[in-house]
Amino acid sequence: MIVRFFHQMGSPRYFYGVAGKLIPWFMVSFLITLVVGLYYGLFVAPPDYQQGESYRIMYIHVPAAWMSMFIYVVMAVSGLISLVWRIKMTEVIVISSATVGASFTFLALATGSLWGKPMWGTWWVWDARLTSELLLLFLYLGIIALHSAIEDKRVAARAVSILALVGVVNIPIIHYSVEWWNTLHQPASITKFGKPSMDMSMLIPLLTMAISFKLYYGAVVLMRARAEIVERERNSRWVQDLVEQEAK
Amino acid sequence: MNPIRKKRLTLIGLMVAGIGVATWLALNAFDENLMFFFSPSEIAEGKAPAGHPFRVGGLVATDSVKRKSDGLTTSFTVTDNAETVTVEYTGILPDLFREGQGIVAMGQLNQSGVFVASEVLAKHDENYMPPEVADSLKTAHDQAVGANQKVSVQ
C-alpha cells in the first residue's frame, strides 16, 4: 500500500494532481499555526528575565534556522535518491527546495544580526556558528546558480544533487559548532535528550512556529514542484491536455 | 538492488565519507583558530597568543566591576571559576553586561597582566525564563545557601 503510493508519487503526472489537492490544506494549516504561534509568542508569552522583550525575535529566528538545516537535509536525501535511482520527482524536489531554503537561511542570519546588536553589542562576529550558517547560505545560492547555468534539466539536477551531497557535511558542523568550539552564539536551549532550558510558556509558542514554518515549506515546495513539472513535461500529452482544459 | 545502482550508491557513499574525513582533518588542524575566545584558565596556561590581540571569554566576577573617575573606563574581573583575568575597558558596555553574566572581550595583555580591551561583547546563555521564575529560583538558591551557612556555623 505505502510502496504503491510512493511508486505512484514518482510519476510526475500523478504527483501534479495530488500536490494540487494538498496545497490548500498545507496553506490553511500554515496560516492557522502562524497566527496562533505569533499571537502566543508576541503577546501571551512572558518577557525574558534578562533580555526583556527583545528575545521575542527568536520566534522567527529559531524556527528559520531549524528550517534552513532541515530543508538542506531534505535536498541531500532527495539528491542521493536522484543520483542512485534516477527518479524524476526527487530531482524536482531538490531544486524546488533551494529557493525556500535560501530564504529561511537569510531570515535566520538577518534576525540573528538584528538581535545581536542590542544583546551582544555587535551585528556580526566570525564565530563558528555564524560562519557555518553563512556558508550554508552560499551553498544554497551555489545550488540555485548551478541549476540555472545548465540548460538540460536532468543534467542540471544531477550536478545540483552532487553539490547538495558535498555540502551536507556542513550540517553537523552548524549543529555542533556551539559545542565543539567556543562561540559567541549560545548553545542550544532545546535538545533531543534532556529538559529544555526554556520556560514552557515560551517553548510552546516556539514549537508552534516551528510547525508553522514546516507547513509553509510543504506548501511552497509543492507549488514550485508543480511549476517545475509542467515546465519539464511541457511536450507531453497530459500537460497539453491540461493547458487546453485551462484555456476553455 | 541492481548492480549499477549499488555501484552508484557506493561511489556516493565514498565521496561523502571522503569529504567528511577531509573536513574533519581540516577542522582539527585549525582547531585553535576556530576558537572564538580563550578562557582565563587557557590564558594562565599560556595558550593565548602573546604580543597580538585575542579574545577572552568568561563570567564577570561578582563585586568586581569598578568605574574609574573618568566615568568611561570600567575595570572588572573575568572568571571561569578556576582562574581570573582583570579586564580594563573604555567605552559603552552592552545591555546584557552585568555581574555574573558571560562576556567576550577583545584586546591585549599589558605588562602588568591586565587585559586592555578594545571591545566588549555580552555572551547570552541558553536559558530563557520569565522574570518571576528567575526570582523564585534566586530566592530558592539564596535560602539553600543560607541554610548551608547556618549548618556550618553550628
Domain residue spans in chain B?
3-32, 36-123
Residue A128 has its nearest CB partner, among B23, B36, B38, at B36
Q: Is the pLDDT of residue A110 over 50?
A: yes
The pLDDT value recorded for residue B153 is 42
Q: Tell me the CA distances in angstroms from A48 to A74, A83, A111, A244, B121, one per residue in order.
A: 34, 47, 18, 58, 19
Cell for A109?
542570519
A120 contacts in chain B (CB < 8 Å): 94, 96, 121-124
A45-61 pLDDT, tens per residue? Answer: 988 888 888 889 999 99
Do residue A198 and residue B129 have CB atoms under 8 angstroms apart? Answer: yes
| Winning range, highest mean pLDDT, from A3-7, A19-23, B93-97 | A19-23
pTM: 0.88
Q: Going residue by residue through chain B (154 aa), what tens digit of pLDDT does each one get? A: 788 899 999 999 999 999 999 999 998 888 777 778 888 888 888 777 777 788 888 889 888 888 888 778 889 999 888 888 999 998 888 878 888 888 999 988 888 888 999 889 988 877 888 887 777 777 777 666 655 554 444 3
Q: Is the ipTM of this complex over 0.85?
A: no
DSSP percent split of chain A into helix, strand, coil, nearest 5: 80, 0, 20
pLDDT-derived band at A180, boundaries 50, 70, 90: confident
For residue B138, what is the nearest residue in chain A, using CA coordinates? A49
In terms of pLDDT, which residue wins out, A176 or A8? A176
Q: Best of A165, A184, A185, A190 to disrupt the B interface by mutation (most B CBs within 10 Å)? A: A184
Buried b (16+ CB within 10 A) or exposed e, A17-42: eebeeebeebbebbeebbebbbebbe
Do residue A169 and residue B16 have CB atoms under 8 angstroms apart? Answer: yes
Question: What single letter denotes the amino acid at residue A80?
Answer: L
Domain boundaries along the sequence of chain A: 58-183+197-229
**Tell me, which fold does domain B36-123 have in CATH?**
OB fold (Dihydrolipoamide Acetyltransferase, E2P) (2.40.50)
Calpha distance A188→B127 (Å, rounded): 9
Cell for B70?
573618568
pLDDT-derived band at A192, boundaries 50, 70, 90: low
Instruction: Confirm or reject contact between A199 and chain B (CB < 8 A).
Output: yes
| Least confident window among A33-37, A94-98, A226-230, A231-235 | A231-235
